Amino acid sequence: MDGPVINVLLVEDNPADARLLREMVAEAVASDLVVTHVDRVALALKAIGEQCFDVVLLDLSLPDSFGFEGFVKIHTAAPTLPLVILSNLDDEALALRAVQEGAQDYLPKGRIKGPALVRAVRYAVERGRREAAQLASVVAQAGVTPVSAVVPSSGGRLVPAGGAVGQAQTVRATPRPHADNLPTGTRIGNYSITGRIGRGGMGVVYEAENTILRRKVAIKVMPDALAKDPDALRRFQREARAAAQIDHPNVVGIYDIGEWEGAYFIAMPLVRGGSVQALLSAGGPLHWRQATEVAADVCRGLAAAHAAGVVHRDIKPDNILIGTDGVVRIVDFGLAQAVASNDSLSSSSDGQGIVAGTLHYMSPEQCQGQRVGPASDIYSLGAAYHAMLVGKPPYEGDSKRILWGHCFCSPPHAHSLNATVPEVCTEIIRRAMAREPMSRFESVERMLGDLERALFEESPVNVAS
């Protein structure tokens, strides 16, 4: 026996699976693992109350519980007991949720092998012991006795170390401020919040300072509610990975990504200025030349993104920033997805029918949940360019009317809506917003070429020359 005995509680109602799992342990010559088997959550809770276990292997589908119901019951009854979830489903979203809920690991049954199972069990036990030691250290530093040392007459309250029960004071953890409204001075990792900037499609944005480098940054914090959503968390993490691949002056990159008390955040360069949408809301359409220059800069940033295999999937005036330095930058790759990834490039949120993106600027294929690529960004940029020139998106009204416009109509004629817009700009919009991806510009570089030609051809003639 290589080490201390590890007592394993296996909660599995399928006799064949239970036998196979026990055989795997035996074949791995894991003589230090002792397995106790029950087939109900109720029996598991009874066993936990009567015996001391080091880890629980829990099937998600049991006769007296379904899904995470059994996990929650066991985890609530024994919050420090490591749990490893066993499932017939090899599902990334379920695995992510399991870890978020507090599981040490998630093992698809179809991929379990004896040695891997034993390693997972040992790892879960070791990690659980480390976390218990860390908790004990925190409790000791706080000057309170551990929960296990609280006597019954104290009513379950934590009492100061060495203090009498009769003199005990209730110690409660200070709740973390809500991620949607963090007060100034809140510490998130190495960052200190100095103000709130606003809300984006995937989180709340704050101004902050790196307390080590003394550098001003923008911090995007995922809201508490979204942090518990596996799909939202995956999109948030995808934003960081996508932006990290792109190094271009017209793209807002990232400095850091981290987790803070259950919430996730991204640290980005702080851009002083505002969005194109803010300009449109305050003053109406942009001058055609300014709009064309902005669209050209967006093309340059998107070219770098597409070269890195990244599709933004949510180009809109809100996600185009103009800094006080005059530089145009694309922000918020929260809906981006790598073109070369193995995921299906549907615009639904992982098969659950949730269309990702902003309806006013979505491509037809994105509206219909079809495969998307760089051509979808070209369409969205065409729609955003129209909004910059006219002051409103191409299609308005309720959701059905907007969807109908994207999928079945030709884009409105920008020159007819704003006579100051040159026909060449209207033609660029028409081609960018073609319903069929193959009918659009072959690339953002081609669209950039037409935008640059429009700026040159429509330049005032120098009569002095």
Decide: helix, strand or coil at residue 358.
coil
Say how far apart CA 276 and CA 363 lie, in whole Å: 20
Under 8 Å between Cβ of 250 and 329 = yes
Closest CA to 445 of 398, 394, 399, 381: 381
Name the residue among 315, 271, 335, 350 with its Cα closest to residue 447: 315
Residue 109 labelled as part of a binding site: no
Phi, psi of 243 (to 5 degrees): -65, -30
Residues with a known catalytic role: 314
Distances (CA, A) of 243 to 382, 397, 402: 22, 33, 29
Task: Report the half-sphere exposure of 215 (CA within 13 A, side-chain side).
Answer: 13
Of residues 374, 94, 343, the one with CA closest to residue 241: 343
Instruction: Return the axis-axis angle of helices 114-141 and 15-27, rounded to nearest 10°.
Output: 90
Closest C-alpha among 205, 197, 243, 198 to residue 222: 205
> Which residues fall in the annotated binding site?
220
Which residue numbers belong to the known binding site for ATP? 220
